[in-house]
A and B are shown apart, each in its own frame.
Chain A
Amino acid sequence: MKIKIQRQTLVEYEVDMQDATLLAVLERIKTSQDASLTYASGCKSSVCGSCSMRVNGKEVLACGYKVKDGDFIEPLKNVPVIRDLVVDMDKAYEFNAKAKAYSNNPHAKNISVTQENEKINEIQSDCILCGSCYSACPVYAVNSEFLGPFSLTRVWKYVSDVREDDSKEKIDTIQTNGIWDCTLCNECTLVCPQDISSKSDIEKLRSKSAMAGHTDPNFASMDFGGGLSF
């Protein structure tokens, strides 16, 4: 089986492995063929988010993807490549802080959370910060300061939580470079290994923003084809 890996140049490797995960193949190459091949890995069980990369243009976790002959492996997009398949996630993760993706009410004691309440953000709290959604997001081509899919999902996780007493500050924060910059293309949903849909979380944040009196800033600048242009 042959695979191609985008390093500084495109490099082809041949391995004799069947039904193997991409991470197992990378480990085999590193320990027996080419110790300079560089990738990140950790848990091998799809929960630490270290080994996200692209195969044939689509984001996957290397530990959760079974390799096929001819696969083309690349690093994530929208993040600086440090070396080979390793990218620098610092800036991407900083958007969590910029979006205020944390509890506003950290000393909420004894607030009753029902099973129904817990279900509201159960799946959002499954996020492993692998950055697949961030890589797949087309908005970064036009706005490098977009808060991005995983950070906005995290904001939804907190504002939808019954333990939060005040979501206004968060909702205000995500009006700029946030929810209205999303094109709702749904690429983030398609690549999420945890079945999270940031697109639908962003839609929910838009509804909540509208209820809080915010409007889509794109409306103001839109030309509806009427007016004085006759």
Chain B
Amino acid sequence: MNKNDVLVIGAGGAGLVAALNAYESGAKVKVITKEYPTRSQTCMAQGGINAALGNAGEDSVEAHVQNTLKSAKAIANEEAIRVLCESAPEAIEWLDSIGVCFSRTKDAKIAQRTLGGASAPRACYAQDYTGLKIIHTLYDRCLACGIEILNERFLLEILTNEDSACGVKVLNIRSGEEEIYESGSVIIATGGYSRVYDKHSTNSSATTGDGIVCAIEAGARASDMEFIQFHPTALKGSSILISESARGAGGYLVNSEGDRFVNELLPRDEVARAIHNEIAKGEDIFLDIRHLGEEFIDEELPQERKLAKLYENVDPVYDLVPIKPVAHYTMGGIEVDKNSSTIVKGLYACGECANHRVHGANRLGGNSLLELIVFGKQAGINAAEFAKTNTPSVLRNPHANMHSRTKRGSEIEVDFYKIREELGDMFYKSVGISRDKSTLEDTLKTVEEFISKLPLMGVSDKSKIYNTNRIEFLEFKNMLVLSRLILTGAITRDESRGAHFRVDKPNEDDKFKIHTIIDKDGVVS
């Protein structure tokens, strides 16, 4: 048993910022991740991080607030958005001060570019490696502070006593042993759940929403799970992300005839829907950045060129890049208040796994990296504060045999890898850019069937040591739980709003200008 003041689960941008701030608030901090910190999803963020600095054109915090509100389609919390946008310049100043290598303007300011839905060039960037450079700098900062980071441990359960969170149970992936860590407070920063869409997602294979499932099990609530952002431009064959900054810089979207069909700089939900409609008409869709020139592409978008060559065998300097929209970001997540706290005392959440109600029905590019810094800080400070006064009492016994015994080897009747792929294909088709009620209901029935078949599935690899077959099965079970939540939200929300587009109810309905809130027993409101 190890006692810590604050436990942070997840070591992406939000987790590391939370850890650094809890540490600076005087807490003893331990970070636990199922990978290594620099392998987290944050490293894949390319486009930038928003702050109304006005370095590349006139901008204001108010414009940032208004753009974010507009894109959120009336289901965001204006107060939270104001906190986010007002804190942004300070967040960038902090990142700059710890050594993030941002691109610069000719007059030695942090460079900024325009992303979709923004009225000004607002996204601070580091070529198209913005997330990579931020996560590595945060990691270096944690080393400087001597913050303990435990790698390769999979979250199984958030432990609670009578009235608050007091630790976690994890599976040490290397040893195959379960471990318990006790703490005064717990911060969940485990990322989103886009991998429910399997190969139809830009995300890392680790983005399986584990923390959200465990938080709900521990009594927290999730909200707005049906809002899933489809990024307009992923490579057609591989779902690899091509940054929005390619369009921000003047890239075109064209169909098979070479015709443009949409304003490329609308928010992502609108651009994705326009592409979806073209594809439905039988068109192939391409990103065209040839006119930007080789020098510009190599300077501002070096990663995009490399990825397009590798995965599509096209060079964007000379060729059209075949694209399609795929699942990219999940707006929903663990419901938190203005202190980043869940309804379970001592349990905090930040980053993509949390819903701070700033993205609403559609997130703006450049606001997610910002969210990690602003709310990661808030969660870290508040969790440290809570831990000071919370002396955890004796742990309630962790659920000993909550799950029935997992089938092994030849007992397995259903291959979960096949079901995982089927689930992803089905979600892309039926819970994607365009949805309708009866298909959603059928999909939910299929998900329930998958869940009922779980006892027939299992882990064929018998090794105790580093059993990724076992980890993938645990992740798959989490994704089934999340699938049910997404579908419940999508069926309940009998309207269209932002990323949730229902062909059978194509308009916004004021009756649904509310958040869909779900706990483990079902829809709360």
Instruction: Compute how far the CA of A83 lies from the CA of B174 in the bound complex, rounded to whole angstroms.
Output: 9
Interface string of B352-387 (1 = CB under 8 A from A): 000000000000000000000000000000000000
Residues of the B chain whose Cβ atoms lie less than 8 Å from the Cβ of A96: 140, 143
Q: Nearest chain-A residue to B105 (Cβ)?
A: A115
Q: Which of A41, A106, A125, A127 is the one whose CB lies under 8 Å from B144? A: A106
Are A82 and B104 in contact, CB atoms less than 8 angstroms apart? no
Are B205 and A42 in contact, CB atoms less than 8 angstroms apart? yes
Instruction: Compute how far the CA of A42 lies from the CA of B463 in the bound complex, rounded to whole angstroms.
Output: 22
Q: Nearest chain-A residue to B206 (Cβ)?
A: A42
Say whether A186 faces chain B, with CB atoms less than 8 Å apart. no
Q: Nearest chain-B residue to A106 (Cβ)?
A: B98
Q: Which of B38, B40, B307 is the one whose CB lies under 8 Å from A45? A: B307
Say whether A79 faces chain B, with CB atoms less than 8 Å apart. no
Q: Which of A30, A107, A113, A121 is the one whose CB lies under 8 Å from B104? A: A113
Residues of the A chain whose Cβ atoms lie less than 8 Å from the Cβ of B146: 97
Say whether B406 faces chain A, with CB atoms less than 8 Å apart. no
Q: Which of B35, B144, B241, B313 is the one whose CB lies under 8 Å from A103? A: B144
Q: Which of A35, A42, A122 is the one whose CB lies under 8 Å from B101? A: A122
Are B461 and A163 in contact, CB atoms less than 8 angstroms apart? no
Residues of A81-114 at the interface with B, using a CB-CB cut-off of 8 Å, are 82-84, 86, 88-90, 93, 96-97, 100-103, 106-110, 112-114
Are B417 and A115 in contact, CB atoms less than 8 angstroms apart? no
In the complex, how many residue pairs between chain A and chain B have their CB atoms under 8 Å apart? 153
Are A125 and B463 in contact, CB atoms less than 8 angstroms apart? no
Are A45 and B240 in contact, CB atoms less than 8 angstroms apart? yes
Residues of B231-245 at the interface with A, using a CB-CB cut-off of 8 Å, are 238, 240-241
Interface string of A9-50 (1 = CB under 8 A from B): 000000000010100000000111001101111111111111
Q: Which of B43, B105, B108, B418 is the one whose CB lies under 8 Å from A43? A: B43
Are A43 and B44 in contact, CB atoms less than 8 angstroms apart? yes
Say whether A138 faces chain B, with CB atoms less than 8 Å apart. no
The smallest beta-carbon distance between B162 and chain A, in angstroms, is 37
Say whether B465 faces chain A, with CB atoms less than 8 Å apart. yes
Known: A48-B44, A86-B466, A97-B143. A114 touches B205 (CB 8 A): no
In this complex, the member of A21, A41, A48, A107 whose beta carbon has the largest number of chain B beta carbons within 10 angstroms is A48
The smallest beta-carbon distance between B373 and chain A, in angstroms, is 15
Q: Which of A35, A82, A106, A126 is the one whose CB lies under 8 Å from B97? A: A106
Known: A42-B39, A129-B136. A122 touches B97 (CB 8 A): no
Say whether A156 faces chain B, with CB atoms less than 8 Å apart. no
Are B36 and A93 in contact, CB atoms less than 8 angstroms apart? yes
Residues of the B chain whose Cβ atoms lie less than 8 Å from the Cβ of A46: 306-307, 310
The smallest beta-carbon distance between B90 and chain A, in angstroms, is 11
Instruction: Compute how far the CA of A89 lies from the CA of B39 in the bound complex, rounded to whole angstroms.
Output: 12
Say whether A154 faces chain B, with CB atoms less than 8 Å apart. yes
Q: Which of A41, A44, A122, A125 is the one whose CB lies under 8 Å from B136? A: A125
Say whether B106 faces chain A, with CB atoms less than 8 Å apart. yes
Residues of B399-448 at the interface with A, using a CB-CB cut-off of 8 Å, are 417-418, 421
Q: Which of A32, A48, A157 is the one whose CB lies under 8 Å from B39? A: A48
Report the stretch among B127-135, B277-285, B507-515 that lies at the interface: B127-135
Residues of the B chain whose Cβ atoms lie less than 8 Å from the Cβ of A89: 36, 151
Say whether A161 faces chain B, with CB atoms less than 8 Å apart. yes
Instruction: Compute how far the CA of A108 lies from the CA of B144 in the bound complex, rounded to whole angstroms.
Output: 15
Instruction: Compute how far the CA of A125 lies from the CA of B133 in the bound complex, rounded to whole angstroms.
Output: 6
Instruction: Compute how far the CA of A84 lies from the CA of B174 in the bound complex, rounded to whole angstroms.
Output: 12
Instruction: Compute how far the CA of A161 lies from the CA of B104 in the bound complex, rounded to whole angstroms.
Output: 14
Are A42 and B140 in contact, CB atoms less than 8 angstroms apart? no
Q: Which of A50, A64, A100, A122 is the one whose CB lies under 8 Å from B127? A: A122
Say whether A117 faces chain B, with CB atoms less than 8 Å apart. yes
Residues of A120-173 at the interface with B, using a CB-CB cut-off of 8 Å, are 121-122, 125-129, 154, 157-158, 161, 163-164
Residues of the A chain whose Cβ atoms lie less than 8 Å from the Cβ of B301: none
Are A102 and B143 in contact, CB atoms less than 8 angstroms apart? yes
Instruction: Compute how far the CA of A169 lies from the CA of B466 in the bound complex, rounded to whole angstroms.
Output: 39
Are B38 and A49 in contact, CB atoms less than 8 angstroms apart? yes
Known: A102-B141, A109-B93. A118 touches B101 (CB 8 A): yes
Are B469 and A35 in contact, CB atoms less than 8 angstroms apart? yes
Are B97 and A117 in contact, CB atoms less than 8 angstroms apart? no
Residues of the A chain whose Cβ atoms lie less than 8 Å from the Cβ of B93: 109-110
Q: Nearest chain-B residue to A99 (Cβ)?
A: B143
Instruction: Compute how far the CA of A84 lies from the CA of B146 in the bound complex, rounded to whole angstroms.
Output: 31
Q: Which of A38, A97, A118, A154 is the one whose CB lies under 8 Å from B102? A: A118
Instruction: Compute how far the CA of A49 lies from the CA of B313 in the bound complex, rounded to whole angstroms.
Output: 22
Say whether B204 faces chain A, with CB atoms less than 8 Å apart. yes
The smallest beta-carbon distance between B20 and chain A, in angstroms, is 10
In this complex, the member of A40, A47, A106, A154 whose beta carbon has the largest number of chain B beta carbons within 10 angstroms is A47
On B, residues with C-beta under 8 Å from A are 35-36, 38-41, 43-44, 93, 96-99, 101-106, 108, 126-127, 129, 132-133, 136-137, 140-141, 143-144, 146, 151, 174, 204-206, 238, 240-241, 303, 306-307, 310, 313, 417-418, 421, 459-463, 465-469
16 interchain pairs, CB-CB under 8 A: A42-B204, A42-B206, A43-B44, A44-B204, A44-B240, A45-B303, A48-B38, A83-B463, A86-B466, A86-B468, A103-B98, A103-B141, A106-B98, A118-B104, A129-B136, A163-B96
